[in-house]
Structure 1
Amino acid sequence: MATDIKDNAHGVEAAAVMRLLPARPCLLAVGEPTHREDTLLDLRNDLFRQLVEQEGYRTIAIESDCMMGLLVDDYVTSASAALGEDEVLERGFSHDWGNLAGNRELVRRMRAYNDGRPAAEQVRFAGVDGPLEITGAASPRQALIALHHYLAAPARVDSDLLPCTAETLDRLLGADERWTDPAAMTDPARSVGASSEVGELRLLADDLVTLLEVRTPQLIAATSREDWERARLYGRTATGLLRYHAAMADTSPSRMTRLLSLRDRMMADNLLALAERGPAFVYAHNSHLQREKSTMSMWDHPLLEWWSAGAMVSARLGAEYAFLATALGTIRHRGVDTPPADTIEGLLYALPQDRCVVDASRLAAALGGTRPAPRISPWFGYSALDPAHLADTDGIVFVKDVRQGRS
Structure 2
Amino acid sequence: MATDIKDTVHAVEAAAVMGLLATRPRVLALGEPTHGEDALLDVRNELFRQLVEEEGYRTIAIESDCLAGLLVDAYVTSSAAAGSLDEVMERGFSHGFGDSAANRELVHWMRAYNEGRPAPEQLRFAGIDGPLEMTGAASPREALTSLHSYLAGHVDAGLLPCTARTLDRLLGADDRWTEPAAMTDPTRSTGRSAEAGELRLLADDLAALLEAQTPHLITATSRGEWERARLYGRTATGLLRYHHWMADTSPGRMARLVGLRDLMMADNLLALAERGPTLVHAHNSHLQRDRSSMRLGGRLLEWWSAGSIASAHLGESYAFFATALGTIRHRGVDAPQPGTLEGLLYALPDDVCVVDSPRLGAALAGTLAAPRASAWFGYFPFEPAHLTATDGLVFIKDIPQGRAASI
Q: TM-score range by the shorter chain?
A: over 0.9
Rounded to whole Å, the distance in 1 between the matches of 2:291 and 2:83 is 40
* Structure 1 letter corresponding to 2:30: V
Note the alpha carbon deviations across 1:216-256, whole angstroms, 9 max, x for none. Answer: 00000000000000000000000000000000000111110
Moved over 3 A (4+): 79-82
Give the unaligned 5+ runs of structure 1.
none
Residue in 2 that maps onto 1:311: 308
The alignment's TM-score, normalised by the length of structure 2, stands at: 0.98
Q: How does 1:90-169 map to 2 (within 5 A)?
A: 90-153=90-153, 156-169=154-167
Rounded to whole Å, the distance in 2 between the matches of 1:174 and 1:186 is 22
Deviation at 1:362, TM superposition (A): 1.1
Does the 8 Å CA contact 1:138/1:179 hold for their aligned counterparts? yes
Rounded to whole Å, the distance in 1 between the matches of 2:200 and 2:316 is 34
Within the alignment, does 1:49 sit opposite 2:46 as a pair? no
Within the alignment, does 1:236 sit opposite 2:198 as a pair? no
Deviation at 1:368, TM superposition (A): 4.0
Rounded to whole Å, the distance in 1 between the matches of 2:366 and 2:243 is 46
* Structure 2 letter corresponding to 1:383: F
Q: How does 1:186-335 map to 2 (within 5 A)?
A: 186-299=184-297, 301-335=298-332
Deviation at 1:79, TM superposition (A): 5.7
Note the alpha carbon deviations across 1:182-221, whole angstroms, 9 max, x for none. Answer: 0000001100011000000000000000000010000000
Within the alignment, does 1:393 sit opposite 2:377 as a pair? no
Residue in 2 that maps onto 1:89: 89
Deviation at 1:373, TM superposition (A): 2.6
Q: 1:76 to 1:383 in 2, by over 3 A?
A: same
The alignment's TM-score, normalised by the length of structure 1, stands at: 0.98
Does the 8 Å CA contact 1:344/1:373 hold for their aligned counterparts? no
Deviation at 1:7, TM superposition (A): 1.8
Question: Residue 180 of structure 1: which of 169, 178, 181 is its match?
Answer: 178
- Larger mean CA deviation between 113-122 and 219-228 belongs to 113-122
Rounded to whole Å, the distance in 2 between the matches of 1:124 and 1:79 is 12
- SS of aligned partner of 1:291: coil
- SS of aligned partner of 1:15: helix
- SS of aligned partner of 2:321: strand
Rounded to whole Å, the distance in 1 between the matches of 2:361 and 2:95 is 35
Rounded to whole Å, the distance in 2 between the matches of 1:105 and 1:378 is 30
Does the 8 Å CA contact 1:209/1:235 hold for their aligned counterparts? yes
- SS of aligned partner of 1:353: coil
Rounded to whole Å, the distance in 2 between the matches of 1:342 and 1:56 is 40
Rounded to whole Å, the distance in 1 between the matches of 2:337 and 2:143 is 48
Deviation at 1:146, TM superposition (A): 0.2
- SS of aligned partner of 1:74: helix
- SS of aligned partner of 1:275: helix
Rounded to whole Å, the distance in 1 between the matches of 2:253 and 2:171 is 23
Does the 8 Å CA contact 2:62/2:280 hold for their aligned counterparts? yes
Deviation at 1:121, TM superposition (A): 1.0
Deviation at 1:400, TM superposition (A): 0.4
Rounded to whole Å, the distance in 1 between the matches of 2:267 and 2:41 is 24
Note the alpha carbon deviations across 1:151-209, whole angstroms, 9 max, x for none. Answer: 001xx210000000000000000000000000000001100011000000000000000
- Larger mean CA deviation between 136-145 and 363-372 belongs to 363-372
Note the alpha carbon deviations across 1:87-120, whole angstroms, 9 max, x for none. Answer: 1000000001001100000010001111111111
- Larger mean CA deviation between 76-85 and 132-141 belongs to 76-85
Does the 8 Å CA contact 1:248/1:255 hold for their aligned counterparts? yes
Residue in 2 that maps onto 1:3: 3
* Structure 2 letter corresponding to 1:400: K
Residue in 2 that maps onto 1:37: 37
* Structure 1 letter corresponding to 2:266: A
Deviation at 1:392, TM superposition (A): 1.2
* Structure 2 letter corresponding to 1:268: A
- SS of aligned partner of 1:297: strand
Rounded to whole Å, the distance in 2 between the matches of 1:117 and 1:313 is 30
* Structure 2 letter corresponding to 1:221: T
Does the 8 Å CA contact 1:68/1:94 hold for their aligned counterparts? yes
Q: 1:237 to 1:392 in 2, by over 3 A?
A: same
Note the alpha carbon deviations across 1:109-147, whole angstroms, 9 max, x for none. Answer: 001111111111111100000000011000000000000
Within the alignment, does 1:381 sit opposite 2:378 as a pair? yes
* Structure 1 letter corresponding to 2:275: R
- SS of aligned partner of 1:304: strand
Note the alpha carbon deviations across 1:293-329, whole angstroms, 9 max, x for none. Answer: 1111113x51111111111111111111001110000
Rounded to whole Å, the distance in 2 between the matches of 1:398 and 1:172 is 50
* Structure 1 letter corresponding to 2:136: G
Aligned alpha-carbon RMSD (Å): 0.9
Rounded to whole Å, the distance in 1 between the matches of 2:319 and 2:294 is 23
Rounded to whole Å, the distance in 2 between the matches of 1:152 and 1:351 is 61
Aligned length: 404
Does the 8 Å CA contact 2:67/2:131 hold for their aligned counterparts? yes
